[in-house]
Amino acid sequence: MLIMKQRYESLELKIMRSLNVRMKLETKEENYYLNLEKAMKVSKSLTNGQRTFQITVLF
């Protein structure tokens, strides 16, 4: 069984992206924002089939 889940950007990521464009984020906030972006990029790459995980269900 192959499970593929649609990935959506979180509201938090959208807000942080908007704030990053409008102002200079503090170092801690900027690192948090960059980690959110990185996680989204990895998540999308997994969804796009670069890596596929197969789950076997045994009953």
The chain-wide mean pLDDT, for the chain, equals 82
Largest Cα–Cα separation, the chain: 54
Secondary structure of 20-59 as H, E, C letters: HHHCCCCHHHHHHHHHHHHHHHHHHHHHCCCCCCCCCCCC
Tokens linked to 22: 């409008």
Q: Is 11 exposed, middle or buried (0-12, 13-18, 19+ CB in 10 A)?
A: exposed
What's the pLDDT at 3? 65
Higher pLDDT, residue 46 or 14? 14
What's the pLDDT at 32? 96
In the predicted model, what is the mean pLDDT of residues 5-34? 93
